[in-house]
Structures are given as structure tokens and as C-alpha cells.
């Protein structure tokens, strides 16, 4: 496991990250009860596929372990974790 790196964000970026983290979660998709079962990719729209990346939670914020991965602001994410860690 990688050791946590020093937080090099600016004060303004920290404030923005806290504001984003405090926002209410987005509502689930409003699908009718008889909607056909489709892969999640079909609901994301064209040219958008799910992407799995490794990360670590530090001080309540998720930090991606691969610095080359860049996600757009306000990206929708699903967090998957293990129990009891």
C-alpha cells in the first residue's frame, strides 16, 4: 500500500473540495418500473463508459492512487469498499 502524500492543494481548492463533498447526493435515475434491464453504459449516454480506479480515503476525502487519472468536476461516482477496514 502506498503511503499518503502531503496535501498540496491550495486553500481555495480545499474549500471547493469541502463544498463539493457537502453537496446533497444526486437522485437516482427516474426509471419506470417496467424499464428493460440494460447495461449501466446505456444509461450514461454516448461515449461514457464506467471506469474503475483505486483510491484511499484521507480526512473524509477520496484521493486517487494513480495521479495520471483525471476526473471531470462533478463526475458521478460509485464508491465500493470493504467492510471493517
- % pLDDT > 70, the chain: 82
Confirm if 14 and 60 have CB atoms less than 8 A apart. Answer: no
pLDDT for residue 22: 87
Cell (9 digits) for 81: 469498499
Question: pLDDT averaged over the chain?
Answer: 79
Which has more confidence, 43 or 67? Answer: 67
Q: Could you tell me which of 19, 31, 30 has the C-alpha nearest to residue 73?
A: 19
pLDDT digits 0-9 by tens, 15-46: 888 888 888 887 777 778 888 887 776 766 66
Amino acid at each position: 500500500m502506498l503511503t499518503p502524500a502531503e496535501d498540496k492543494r491550495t486553500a481555495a481548492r480545499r474549500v471547493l473540495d469541502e463544498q463539493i463533498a457537502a453537496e446533497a447526493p444526486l437522485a437516482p435515475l427516474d426509471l419506470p418500473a417496467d424499464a428493460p434491464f440494460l447495461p449501466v453504459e446505456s444509461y450514461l449516454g454516448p461515449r461514457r463508459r464506467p471506469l474503475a480506479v483505486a483510491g484511499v480515503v484521507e480526512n473524509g476525502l477520496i484521493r486517487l492512487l494513480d495521479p495520471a487519472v483525471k476526473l471531470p468536476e462533478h463526475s458521478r461516482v460509485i464508491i465500493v469498499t470493504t467492510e471493517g477496514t
